[in-house]
Structure 1
Amino acid sequence: MDMLIHEAARQAGLSKKAVQLYLSAGLLQPQVDARNGYHQFTGEDVQRLQQIRWLRQLDFSVQEIRAMLEDPSAAQYYILKRMTALREEKRRLDWRMAQLEQILEQDCLSPNSTALTPGPEPWHTPLPLDETDAYLIVSCFLGSLVQNVELNEYRRFLWQRLLKVVVAHQTPELAGLRDYIYSLTPEHAGQLFALCRRVVSEIAALPPQKVEEFSGRVLEHLDHNLSSSAAGRLKRRYECFLRPSIRLFDAETCDILREFTPLFSEYQDRLQAYCDAMLHRLQLPENAALCARLAAFFGPEFSPDQIGSGQLTALYSLSLESGKVN
């Protein structure tokens, strides 16, 4: 049964003013009675208001809530981002508690005390990676391959093993990758995840007879992007996002993923065919100038004698310039 805003607010546990705020922000769109202009709220609208109230209690912004409600698949990113922020906050609170306990136990504030020696502040060192971060990183790069896999007991075991392997890569570069992903605006994060899904899905669906044509098109688009205003964004995307991930997907990680889903094996087969075709093209004399530009712009790992499958895959991502992803 439809209801007016006062009743909807009461059932959702919100004030009328809060409901009006969420209406103006576009978080829900109840029907409007054409006779009087009043909003008519349904039970589903009340449920949506309760979801919004819950998310606001967890300190999500209105902008973040809008992004999650518009694209439920993006909710995972915002939840993981919030969990990491809380971990950092907890680390700071734990440090402050430890300092207060030291003051009490050592009587540091007495006139004759010389024991006031603050411990090292935790925010000067990166927050260590944990399985929350590993979940985010794997989902970001390979979400289209793993998101719809039915989890049985063995696959749950493999997934936990995979996360532990990723966590074991405790490098500043990987921590920087996590921080880069979390620094993005909701709009840019959505664009980046869509870009990753596109790279994986298009390579996974690449027919063998189209590999040569596909690799030629990648180089053509890449050459264009390096000469455009997008070049700076491409370099930042490689340095902050793509380069740190290359070492992450090593032999052990790939072995686990092959067991986790046959889709990864199919993806790897197509990826290898793409990499072989790309390497062949880069070694042709007519592409020597492009290779020199790649090595000068992105680093020596892009020279034909050093380039590996990680860099070759990155080239496809860098050829897909949306114009917005930082």
Structure 2
Amino acid sequence: MRIQEVMGKTGLSRRTIHYYIDQKLIIPPVNEGNGYHDFTEEDVQKLFIIRKLREAGLSLADIRAILRKPRTMPFYLHKQMNELQTQMLTIQKTISEMDRLSGQLPVCQSLDQLAGMLEDTNFSPDEPPQFQMESRDARLLAQYLWMAYLDTPVTEYQQFLWQKIMQQTMEHARTDLKMMSRYLQSISPERIDATNINQYLRNQKIIALTGADYPTFVEELKTSLLAFASDPVQQEKWSLLYQPLIHPIAVFCVSVSGWMREFHPAYRRYYENTHTCCRMLKDFMDSPEGALLNAALNKAFNGNCDVRTGYYGELEVAATFHKSIYALLSPEQIREFLAGVEG
């Protein structure tokens, strides 16, 4: 298909189509005979999607992630809605303050008087509308945490379970999970997508485990945790993020795990295999043979790890920490993020 036909089907200009080719959002083959691009129906479909998402204000980075993995679209839509909501509130506040200020300007006689008027003016909203923002934060968190398990048609009972999960997520989005939702919004789409792929592959490996595989997997956990215990940078990141992000997420996932295990059988296998293997690992650490590993991890965690019954999954998080979303920022960037949110 020639570009003229593509322009007619997508409503995009020749220049725009070539720009998206340069950005590698589409990669149409080149006809060796005439040197022109030969577009496919899939290219046209992608260009249509790009045009629509650009109309919604999504960045090319977000769109690239969606084209690579379509099921991530709700995550990026929620991210964009939060951004638009913030912009809308700022604009509304700015208009309101400008309207109030302009009504006073006819009596303004000097720069000192003008400076005094501006001193009492705030063009930025004090706080976002909590319900709307928290609802979107809840959907953002749910999509991130359980994206891998939202790929099948659901029954009426599964819809009921999902509503329960979302209600619980909504309640926590305004308290202990608020920091995590802000963290997700601070990470670039490409980096989130890369960690999503790593996590998906890890989940699939754990889901496929059988009882005969447990000992080998536990040995892999030992090796990974020893590597964590010998990496001071990863330990510093863990220390910074454990209380505000890692532990609240672990506790929350345990609190809804009953519903999630009913919602998707693959999650049930993931949950049971993870906790079985981490429990075996903890038993080893509590034995004389595991004393060295136990001592190394106690020093590395420095009290920032909860391995009570139900929270064994934190050992799995630590074992894969270097590839997780928590390790994307440097310690300095993490400190800046935490200071910005708390401020």
Same fold (TM over 0.5): yes
Q: Name 2:317's counterpart in structure 1.
A: 317
8 Å contact kept, 2:61–2:190 = no
Distance apart, 1:33 and its partner CA = 2.0
Change in CA separation of 1:102 and 1:249 when aligned onto 2, cut-off 3 Å: farther
The reply to whether residue 190 of structure 1 matches residue 193 of structure 2 is yes
**TM-aligned CA deviation for residue 56 of structure 1:** 1.7
- Distance between the aligned counterparts of 2:58 and 2:92, measured in 1? 23
Q: Give the Cα separation in 2 of the matches to 1:310 and 1:234.
A: 24
Instruction: Say whether the 8 Å CA contact 1:222–1:318 is kept in structure 2.
Output: yes
Q: CA RMSD in A?
A: 3.5
- What is the SS of the residue equivalent to 1:32? coil
Show the counterpart of 1:69: 67
| 1:22 to partner: Cα distance | 0.9
Deviates more, 1:79-88 or 1:164-173: 164-173
Q: In structure 1, the residue corresponding to 2:172 is in which secondary structure?
A: coil
**Aligned in 2, Cα 1:171/1:36: closer, same or farther, shift over 3 Å?**
same
Residue 130 (1) aligns with residue 137 (2): no
Measure the CA separation in 2 of the matches of 1:309 and 1:120: 50
Which whole-Å CA distance do the structure 2 matches of 1:99 and 1:285 have between them?
Answer: 69
The 5-angstrom pairing of residues 8-23 of structure 1 reads: 8-23=6-21
Q: Are 1:271 and 2:274 counterparts?
A: yes
Residue of structure 2 in register with 1:152 after alignment? 155
Aligned-residue identity in percent: 24
* 2:210 matches 1:207: yes
Q: Distance in 1 between matches of 2:36 and 2:164?
A: 54
Deviation at 1:237, TM superposition (A): 6.2
Write the letter of the residue equivalent to 1:257: M
Q: Does 1:50 align with 2:48?
A: yes
Q: Deviations over 1:135-193 (max 9, x none)?
A: 3323323333x223422333223212211111101455412111212222233201222
1:270-303 superposed Cα distances (whole Å, 9 cap, x missing partner): 333223212212212344454344344434243x
- How far has the Cα of 1:218 moved from its partner? 0.5
Length, aligned pairs only: 317
Q: State the AA in 2 paired with 1:318.
A: A
- 2:297 maps to what in 1? 294
Aligned residues of 1:12 and 1:46 also touching (Cα < 8 A): yes
Letter in 1 for 2:147: G
- Tell me, yes or no, if the aligned pair for 1:238 and 1:314 is still in contact at 8 Å: no
Q: TM-score, normalised by structure 1?
A: 0.80
Task: Report deviation, 1:16.
Answer: 1.6
Going from structure 1 to structure 2, the CA distance change for 1:135 and 1:309 (only over 3 Å counts) comes to: farther
What amino acid does structure 2 have at the position aligned with 1:155? Q
Task: Report the CA distance between 1:80 and its aligned residue.
Answer: 2.2
- Out of 178-187 and 223-232, give the one that drifted further: 223-232
- In structure 2, list runs of 5 or more residues that go unmatched: 329-343
Residue 22 of structure 2 corresponds to which residue in structure 1?
Answer: 24
Distance 1:127 1:111 in 2: 38
User: Aligned pair 1:180/2:183, yes or no?
Assistant: yes
Q: Once structures 1 and 2 are overlaid, which stretch shifts more, 47-56 or 130-139? A: 130-139
- 1:93–1:308 distance in 2 versus 1, CA, 3 Å: farther
The answer on whether the counterparts of 1:275 and 1:309 sit within 8 Å (CA) in structure 2 is no
CA contact under 8 A between 2:138 and 2:173: conserved in structure 1?
A: no
Structure 1: gaps (5+ residues): none
TM-score (norm 2): 0.76
The verdict on how the C-alpha distance between 1:41 and 1:262 changes in structure 2, with shifts beyond 3 A counting, is: closer
Cα offset, 1:32, TM superposition: 1.8
Distance of 1:300 and 1:312 partners within structure 2: 15
Following superposition, the deviation at residue 52 of structure 1 comes to 1.6
Match of 2:57 in 1: 59
* Contact 2:89 2:128 survives alignment (8 Å): no
* Amino acid paired to 2:313: T
The structure in which a higher percent of residues are helix is: 2
Judge conservation of contact 2:7–2:14 (CA < 8 Å) in 1. Answer: yes
Question: Take 1:86 and 1:283, find their aligned partners in 2: how far apart are those partners?
Answer: 51
Q: What is the CA-CA distance between 1:27 and the residue it aligns to?
A: 1.4
Q: How does 1:114-129 map to 2 (within 5 A)?
A: 121-122=124-125
Instruction: State the 1:260 CA deviation.
Output: 2.4
